[in-house]
Amino acid sequence: MYNIIQHDGSVCAANGFFADGVSAGLKKNSAKDVAFIYSEVACKIASVFTTNKMCAAPIKHFLAKGDFQTNFVLINARNANAMTGKAGVEDINEVLDALASTCQDVKNPVMSSTGVIGVRLPKQKIIEAMPLFDLSKKEPMSAASAIMTTDTFSKTIAFEVLLEDGSSFRIGAMAKGAGMINPAMATMLCFITTDADVGKEEMQEILDEVTRTTFNAISVDGDTSTNDTVMLLANGLSGAYNKNAFKETLFKVMHFLALEMVRDGEGATKLVTYNVTGAKDAKDAEIVAKALSDSLLVKTALFGQDPNWGRIASTVGASGVEAYEETLSISFNELCVYNKGELLFNEAMEEKAAEIMQLPRFSISCDLGIADGKFTAYGCDLGYEYVKINADYRT
Amino acid sequence: MYNIIQHDGSVCAANGFFADGVSAGLKKNSAKDVAFIYSEVACKIASVFTTNKMCAAPIKHFLAKGDFQTNFVLINARNANAMTGKAGVEDINEVLDALASTCQDVKNPVMSSTGVIGVRLPKQKIIEAMPLFDLSKKEPMSAASAIMTTDTFSKTIAFEVLLEDGSSFRIGAMAKGAGMINPAMATMLCFITTDADVGKEEMQEILDEVTRTTFNAISVDGDTSTNDTVMLLANGLSGAYNKNAFKETLFKVMHFLALEMVRDGEGATKLVTYNVTGAKDAKDAEIVAKALSDSLLVKTALFGQDPNWGRIASTVGASGVEAYEETLSISFNELCVYNKGELLFNEAMEEKAAEIMQLPRFSISCDLGIADGKFTAYGCDLGYEYVKINADYRT
């Protein structure tokens, strides 16, 4: 029906998209800290924003615009422009007005920010960096590194989709966010560009659906940031579209980036997949999967490579969903350590389980044995390094 | 109306109560690991148990007995007797049958356990230790140390209440649990004894009410243990009772022990009181207070002594309750760092706030500025030591 091929263009893979990162002096050592994405024609926008009631100024600014198209996204790191009230939104207007006079081709620009909360946007520095913007640049890796905060590597991906009729479109993306630990300071941002000829409403519907099993499957500690943003820009330039292909490809893009975030979790040494099956329904399965990837006790046991399945069972029980000791089964990869009330664990099994826990990537599966609700979440361990990073984030 | 005076008798303060701890070889180095509380007359019982669906065998055993009175509680550490199915309950019956033949005065005994999940109860060791039980002993500190797991100090308290008519009664208690971090392995247990002449239903009603603002105000990470238990035993021997005095004294007992648990939180160096006011209602205030004391980001900032009020604001916003940037205020002790949309924070204030955060005990207050719902929760910081304790709990 269609072929999906990886592409190395990141947010510049799709026709008509340009991007770059520059240094405005927000980060130390002249590191890049301001990025832009520019499309030569106006884009339809689909978006998912944080549910945090203290949502940041850029999100308020975006939502106040109502229904609109844009050809420019300006992104800065080091300052979240959150808890800055009306002044925060006015700062954005001032920055974007300055942008309009510097870059004539920019229409209806939007802004996105990540960094420290509760400090006014250093707008003068950002405005002074604008002459460095070259809208003909295709430097997606430069843009991707400019938006990093506690990330240890940049996160990008792109695919080309070849349809049966010979037409094709591309989807590319960049993201930042150090992981499932989801620190309020290390906001999750993701910008996706496509030249697919997709309708705005369908695009939003697909984005919502895919977000649930990708970025929302890693956002597990309830500490939703003030700035979390997923933005999908479609300029339609390819003239090509197929709903199934678009959705499958968007899933591949977002799933890859979601797992990259977990892999880059602050101080994380392991990527763990939590497969919950047999729940009363999908919602119950989601609650259990997130409770597991969220549990401090499970996370520290992972770090200690301790196959402490009792903590898994206890976390399932504490999650509040329908669950029974007699129907629950727990496995580490393929190794079943507890089976419907049967205590299987012995020294030999403990050794095998400990071996699995030494792997950089493995799965923990819980079958609740009730019905067929299922959900998969992704998590990481929590070690000394997480404490170190977060005990002293601002200095 | 009445006087409440501290008493040093712990669970043996009230007339007719005896207690001791012995070593059954469950802990290393012959440490005490089995405790009993005995009353010379049968006691009415009020209780609060874990809401964990995987509740441990002792709780199932207790609940299956229906309405009853007891004069004996047997408590062991090192083994939770959880996830042990029907065999776990049969093990308890076997242990208690052996007890009945060893100690003739025991009537309708109950059991309580704490320790590792998913391992059968070492019943033979417990049975072999029974000849060491001397029901005439009043060694409450010995009992309190026997029930400890990761606790670094034992937790006991007692009060005598003098009523206007010259009559008096006492309430004493011991508890274990290393803190608000509430690890599944470090179950919170609390045993309260009284000789007050209180009715069973009224006693249960008061216990439920007081639990909400004491033990449930520190149980904040959702990781409710399989074994959590608060048990109140009343033998009526004083013949004295006054509802207000009883309730106030029970609150003092439980509030003290709850804070002792937080102070002994695994690896904790600070005890923080979260005062939430101005919420839409009490339930909203409770959600916010627990979200704050539960937040990894807040906890690590506390450990780092970083007055990162942005994380406080973000956590309030992420908690899901009604909240507005424009009406929120945040203080560290008496120092207001954010006032209804006004960014007050500057270098001088940062210095003052950092000084407060160096204190072993301080408060963080959030006024949501909406209505008059309020709740107070208690939490601690999270540092390297927590990771160390929990990464390798079982070895």
**Residue B18 CA from chain centroid, whole number:** 21
- At A303 the pLDDT is 84
Q: Which domain holds residue A104?
A: 2-263
Same domain, B74 and B178: yes
Same domain, B282 and B241: no
% of chain B surpassing 70 pLDDT = 94
Same domain, B60 and B159: yes
Q: What is the pLDDT of residues B272-305, one digit of tens each?
A: 999 999 999 999 999 999 889 888 778 888 888 8
What does the block give as tokens for B230?
A: 């608060």
Residue that is last in its domain, among A223, A240, A263? A263
Tokens 């019905």, residue located: A371
Residue B392's pLDDT band (boundaries 50, 70, 90)? low
Whether chain A has a CB inside 8 Å of the CB on B353: the answer is: no
Residue B9's pLDDT band (boundaries 50, 70, 90)? very high
Q: Among B84, B338, B383, select the one facing A387 at the smallest CB separation.
A: B383
Statement: residue B227 has pLDDT above 60: yes
Q: What is the pLDDT of residues B158-172, one digit of tens each?
A: 999 999 999 999 999
- At A322 the pLDDT is 96
Whether chain A has a CB inside 8 Å of the CB on B112: the answer is: no
Q: Among A84, A301, A392, select the one facing B343 at the smallest CB separation.
A: A84
The CA radius of gyration of chain A, in Å to the nearest whole number, is: 22
Pairing of strands A168-176, A189-194: antiparallel
In this structure, what CATH number is given to the domain that contains residue A329? Answer: 3.10.20.340
- At B184 the pLDDT is 43
Q: Residues of A with CB below 8 A from B346's CB? A: none
Question: Among B58-72, B127-141, B240-254, B340-354, whose mean pLDDT is lowest?
Answer: B340-354
B77: closest CA among B16, B39, B129?
B129
Pairing of strands A342-343, A335-339: antiparallel
Q: Which residue of A has its CA nearest to B310?
A: A117
The pLDDT of B96-108, averaged and rounded, is: 95
CB pairs under 8 A between A and B: 222
Q: State the catalytic residue, choosing from B70, B187, B249, B273.
A: B187
- At A393 the pLDDT is 53
CB B298 within 8 A of CB B330: no
| A197 or B226, greater pLDDT | A197
| pTM as predicted | 0.86
- At B220 the pLDDT is 43
Q: How far is CA B58 from CA A64, B76, B272, in A?
A: 57, 11, 33
Same domain, B173 and B193: yes
CB A159 within 8 A of CB A132: no
Q: Residues of A with CB below 8 A from B327's CB? A: none
d(CA A314, CA A277): 17
- At B300 the pLDDT is 81
**Residue A318 CA from chain centroid, whole number:** 27
Whether chain A has a CB inside 8 Å of the CB on B387: the answer is: yes
What does the block give as tokens for B327?
A: 């009406």
Same domain, A133 and A187: yes
The CA radius of gyration of chain B, in Å to the nearest whole number, is: 22
Whether chain B has a CB inside 8 Å of the CB on A81: the answer is: no
The pLDDT of B191-217, averaged and rounded, is: 95
Residue that is last in its domain, among B263, B288, B311? B263
CB-CB under 8 Å, A84 with B223: no
- At A220 the pLDDT is 43
Same domain, B189 and B291: no
Q: How far is CA B306 from CA A227, B220, B348, B351, in A?
A: 21, 22, 14, 10
Q: Residues of B with CB below 8 A from A391's CB? A: 300-301, 303-304, 306, 383
Same domain, A387 and A247: no
Q: Residues of B with CB below 8 A from A386's CB? A: 300, 387
Q: What is the pLDDT of residues B352-383, one digit of tens each?
A: 999 999 999 999 999 999 999 999 999 888 87
- At B180 the pLDDT is 46
Same domain, B275 and B169: no
What does the block give as tokens for B292?
A: 């704050």
DSSP-H helix ranges across B65-135: 85-102, 123-129
Q: How many domains does chain A have?
A: 2
The pLDDT of B336-349, averaged and rounded, is: 90
Same domain, B160 and B289: no
Residues of chain A with pLDDT under 50: 180, 182-185, 220, 222, 395
Residue that is last in its domain, among B231, B246, B263? B263
Residue B395's pLDDT band (boundaries 50, 70, 90)? very low
What does the block give as tokens for B229?
A: 């238990």
CB A11 within 8 A of CB A156: yes
Same domain, B256 and B284: no
Q: What is the pLDDT of residues A310-340, one digit of tens each?
A: 889 989 998 999 999 999 999 999 999 999 9
- At B37 the pLDDT is 98
Residue B48's DSSP bridge partners are B230
Residue B107's pLDDT band (boundaries 50, 70, 90)? very high
Same domain, A171 and A279: no
Residue B217's pLDDT band (boundaries 50, 70, 90)? confident
In this structure, what CATH number is given to the domain that contains residue B65? Answer: 3.60.70.12
- At A342 the pLDDT is 87
Question: Please, which residues 266-295 of chain A have a Cβ atom closer than 8 Å to chain B?
Answer: 291, 295
- At B95 the pLDDT is 98
Residue B391's pLDDT band (boundaries 50, 70, 90)? low
- At A183 the pLDDT is 44
Predicted complex: ipTM over 0.90:
no
Whether chain A has a CB inside 8 Å of the CB on B343: the answer is: yes
d(CA B298, CA A59): 24
Q: How far is CA A242 from CA A195, A245, A331, in A?
A: 12, 5, 39
Same domain, A283 and A230: no
